[in-house]
Structure 1
């Protein structure tokens, strides 16, 4: 399946075909992933379902250059981290594939960016380089082509004035913000928004005490005067995003799928809606690795939607230390 055809996927059968083709491509062209599969004695001839594909522990993005042979990175995205910590690096060979992925995913979830004023409150991301989130949001802001769309750093008074003014005018607004900054905003200003979507990207980034999702969303709902808080599920190591329009239930675009694995046996997937580690297939990761075992804990439902409950306490995924990191 040609790489752009993933955005035409509409059925489970098409996804399975594309995932298995991608697995064969990775096995033949990604030396790190091939070594991982060899240690598990997994070969494409034995894999007939996407759920049986080996998932590479996400820590490998910290210790290895995950890139298929013959590919050269056009950009390297990096994760945020505390001082002295090792950050993940995602070597992206085809930047246009990332752009196609987030543009298609956003359109499926929210429609045309031109219908919104898009405001971004992402100080922890703006204060460093290499953020894939900033790249995506900047593109959406430019696509919205509205003079009021833009980024805000510490100018909360200006943002509050803009939000209230736009909302009262009936303009559809999307405010994308990191959790701690949204809390700062509602603590210093009050809102009663009718035409605005609030989307949190998660994480306190060491600026505040971590809150469970229910508590965070309750505070934000009260502060902004909205009935629900939207969320974005993405990470440096992925080129696709899941979105939630409330209650922490995420859906994915058709070229992305989530599974849960046993927390005691990282190589075994769970059936039903049991809590487990989240494994992700992101077919947009064509030239890095589409099959990733994350450090997130959650549940996956019958319709493919999922929730994120938290993260593993330990830094390494149990059962996956088969290769030296």
Structure 2
């Protein structure tokens, strides 16, 4: 059995590769859906010896199958957002503590101690439905911040604007995390000149506004909030880890997560760094479901292990991830 300590303590590429192959063997043996998928491709632990030969399960399987790698009791079911009547993904989580540890360690890696921030959340479309993994994470970060003013704001833009100004005047570090269209609503209501605030957009217009390219979006948000960069979070219902961008749409993964870019014409081949293709995600925190997910996102990887999200495949569903049309 693989423990949390195995993958959360990863400190080198070699270690990551070793544990990733170990996770593959474990999930092949214990995840019947994934095993059947691998067998269909003629892949199994006897002929998978490198990361780039591991089969990646198409994300659509989370809509039709129960993707689990053990028989433990399900503690939470995270569901994706979708248009009315659309079939949504379900992520059956048998150990929520792994998710909590994943986002807590990742936040610390990229931003430091959560208690140094007041966390303000502007996530109306997520709050208005049940089963959002993002709401679960942000709610816990709000609690962990231990700041009296941390909290969610639904559509009360005036109250939020006044609170941001008040906290700014106090010199308080702020993390404002918001869905894209709501952040645009806020700066249309009021223009800011922020010094102590990180603006983190989670992507998505949710049908409220026309999709726009990231460069235009971030420029608009920078001007409206009076900041130099816009941060982003790349996560999805089917994962238990997030990548973060500290600006310019360049994402970096925590040490137990990585992305590979597959050829759009041949899903079993990979393109070289700098070329665009489909994003495959390795998320070792997904030990109890599937750690190898072929997403419907388009992206490209850089030589320094960072990556960009360039949009989505044609005809793919609009889901609750950080997706914009480029």
Q: Is the 8 A contact 1:298 1:309 kept in 2?
A: yes
Alignment of 1:76-87 (within 5 A): 76-87=77-88
Instruction: Please state how far the C-alpha of 1:194 moved relative to its aligned partner.
Output: 0.5
Tell me, what secondary structure is at the counterpart of 1:28? Answer: helix
- Tell me the distance in 2 between the aligned counterparts of 1:78 and 1:2: 26
Alignment of 1:210-221 (within 5 A): 210-221=211-222
Partner of 2:188: 187
Structure 1 length normalisation: TM-score? 0.96
Partner of 2:296: 295
Structure 2 length normalisation: TM-score? 0.96
- Tell me the distance in 2 between the aligned counterparts of 1:7 and 1:92: 18
Instruction: Please state how far the C-alpha of 1:216 moved relative to its aligned partner.
Output: 0.6
Partner of 1:72: 73
Partner of 1:102: 103
Instruction: Please state how far the C-alpha of 1:272 moved relative to its aligned partner.
Output: 2.1
Alignment of 1:203-242 (within 5 A): 203-242=204-243
Question: Structure 1: which 4+ aligned runs deviate by more than 3 Å?
Answer: none
Partner of 2:324: none
Tell me, what secondary structure is at the counterpart of 1:279? Answer: strand
Tell me, what secondary structure is at the counterpart of 2:129? Answer: coil
User: Would you say 1:146 and 2:122 are equivalent positions?
Assistant: no
- Tell me the distance in 1 between the aligned counterparts of 2:225 and 2:27: 45
Give the CA RMSD over aligned residues.
0.9
Tell me, what secondary structure is at the counterpart of 2:272? Answer: coil
User: Would you say 1:120 and 2:130 are equivalent positions?
Assistant: no
User: Would you say 1:131 and 2:135 are equivalent positions?
Assistant: no
Tell me, what secondary structure is at the counterpart of 1:44? Answer: coil
Partner of 2:51: 50
Q: Is the 8 A contact 1:31 1:69 kept in 2?
A: no
Tell me, what secondary structure is at the counterpart of 2:299? Answer: strand
Partner of 1:319: none
Instruction: Please state how far the C-alpha of 1:68 moved relative to its aligned partner.
Output: 1.6
Partner of 2:287: 286
Tell me, what secondary structure is at the counterpart of 2:175? Answer: strand
Q: Which runs of 5+ in 1 are unaligned?
A: 317-325
- Tell me the distance in 2 between the aligned counterparts of 1:166 and 1:3: 37
- Tell me the distance in 1 between the aligned counterparts of 2:296 and 2:185: 28
Instruction: Please state how far the C-alpha of 1:137 moved relative to its aligned partner.
Output: 0.3
Instruction: Please state how far the C-alpha of 1:51 moved relative to its aligned partner.
Output: 1.9
Partner of 1:265: 266
Number of residue pairs matched by the alignment: 316
Tell me, what secondary structure is at the counterpart of 1:80? Answer: coil
Q: Is the 8 A contact 1:71 1:287 kept in 2?
A: no
Alignment of 1:159-178 (within 5 A): 159-178=160-179
- Tell me the distance in 2 between the aligned counterparts of 1:315 and 1:232: 20
- Tell me the distance in 2 between the aligned counterparts of 1:138 and 1:70: 28
Deviation string, structure 1 residues 32-72 (Cα, Å, up to 9, x no partner): 00000000000111111112110000000001010124232
Q: Which runs of 5+ in 2 are unaligned?
A: 318-326
- Tell me the distance in 2 between the aligned counterparts of 1:126 and 1:168: 29
Partner of 1:31: 32
